[in-house]
Homo-oligomer: A and B are copies of this chain.
Amino acid sequence: MTERVVLAYSGGLDTSVCIGWIAEETGAEVIAVAVDVGQGGEDLNVIRERALACGAVEAEVADARDEFADEYCLPAIKANALYQGEYPLVSALSRPVIVKHLVAAAKKHGATTVAHGCTGKGNDQVRFEVGISNLAPELTCIAPVRDYAMTRDKAIAFAEAKNLPIVTTKKSPYSIDQNVFGRAVETGFLEDIWNAPIEDVYDYTQNPATPREADTVVISFEAGVPVAIDGRKVTVLQAIEELNKRAGAQGVGRLDMVEDRLVGIKSREIYEAPGAIALITAHQALENVTVERELARYKRQVEQRWSELVYDGLWFSPLKRALDGFVDEANQSVTGDIRMVLHGGRAVVDGRKSGESLYDFNLATYDTGDTFDQSMSKGFIEIFGMSSKIAAKRDLQG
């Protein structure tokens, strides 16, 4: 029986060419799988038809937008997940959901191999292949760009030679990956890290420097989940989409960073993630009100490790699952409303309200009615500082 290969298919030039390229390299039948994670662009049916026209024996398309928001973006929001303290893991979050669909298609169609369009020097090849090895260790992975030296120029030549139904426009200067949680851009002139990005790089966000009216939004959470915006109930997907629009219109969520890739090199990345940044900022502010101090301090460390694991492609790893248990427990009381002003590239929280609040006006106030017993402080200070004082007697005295 002919071997079958499942290909992660985008509808673009490279993966369209991959269909025939893989067939030629391996003699296998190719099944194209396109997953909608909110990247926008063409209709899924158009993509499906193109795959078949390019030679795929089967083509599967899936609208995974809610699945992506609920099962991948939401855990990231609960974990305030920002790799290197900044990047909300846009691409890293989308890989495991795509992997799930690839593996399901491979099982359905009896494929033995999964193919993806990544290069050999990025993070995404790791995320795809480790993810696939975890969900289906019996599957083999191939990456034509990396393994069969399928360069852009060769791909264009292939498309023209085979008369593939793809518009082989002049290559965009930008290498882009996008989904509903954000957009990543790399490009030649930004590889000089002294060069600043230009407006042309951006698509999800307006120029924050343009004068405009501020937009005030109230985001409501229940147990860490965004459930309403300005009092209207929303799904997680709707919350991200609405804030992409509203925060994006205010220039919120642009990032320009030098990033540590898993493969050991540093790279320059531009991101736009207006909804993600707005939601994580609001969530973090609500945690400040509802999460106890020692839990909050420890959670910051857990958040960092969670973000590193997901960045590093270990979504399906045992440690990731155990950290999820911690994060979910820590989110039990993260319920309440956050008021946030979106303006000038900033998402600024200026009000919080929560039935689960640990902020106690009567303990905090300097007005009358204060219930904090200040006479306790002397004993606290004496004993809290004791071990440091004993060491200082030895180390710091003349």
Contacts and interface: CB of A to CB of B under 8 A. Distances in A.
Interface of A: 84-85, 119-121, 125-126, 129-130, 133-135, 137, 146-147, 175, 186, 188, 191-197, 208-209, 211, 214, 254, 256-260, 262-268, 284-285, 288-289, 291-301, 304-305, 308-309, 313-314, 316-319, 321-323, 325-326, 328-330, 333, 339, 341, 343-346, 348-353, 356-361, 363-367, 370, 372-397
A265 B372 contact: yes
Contacts of A186: 366
Given A175-B366, A348-B256, A390 B264 contact: yes
Contact of A197 (B344, B350, B353): B350
A322 B329 contact: yes
A319 B391 CA distance: 10
A348 B351 CA distance: 25
Contacts of A175: 366
A351 B194 contact: yes
A396 B365 CA distance: 25
Nearest to A255: B348
A343 B382 CA distance: 43
A94 to B, nearest CB: 18
A387 B121 contact: no
Given A329-B322, A349-B256, A193 B292 contact: no
A292 B391 contact: yes
A381 B292 contact: no
Contacts of A317: 292, 294-295, 388, 391-392
Given A194-B353, A268-B364, A388 B314 contact: yes
A119 to B, nearest CB: 7
A365 B358 CA distance: 39
Contacts of A360: 265-266, 390
A256 B379 CA distance: 30
B365 A191 contact: yes
Nearest to A264: B386
A385 B268 contact: no
Contacts of A375: 120, 146, 379
A114 to B, nearest CB: 13
A130 B384 contact: yes
A321 B294 CA distance: 11
Contacts of A361: 191-192
A308 B301 CA distance: 13
Contacts of A308: 297
Given A264-B390, A300-B304, A384 B377 contact: no
Given A314-B385, A322-B330, 15 more contacts: A120-B376, A137-B389, A260-B297, A262-B384, A292-B318, A292-B387, A292-B390, A295-B318, A295-B319, A298-B305, A299-B322, A316-B396, A317-B391, A325-B325, A360-B390
A263 B380 CA distance: 8
Given A379-B377, A389-B134, A364 B293 contact: no
A170 B392 CA distance: 40
Contact of A350 (B196, B208, B291): B196
Contacts of A352: 193-194, 258
A296 B260 contact: yes
A178 B275 CA distance: 35
Contact of A296 (B84, B285, B378, B390): B84
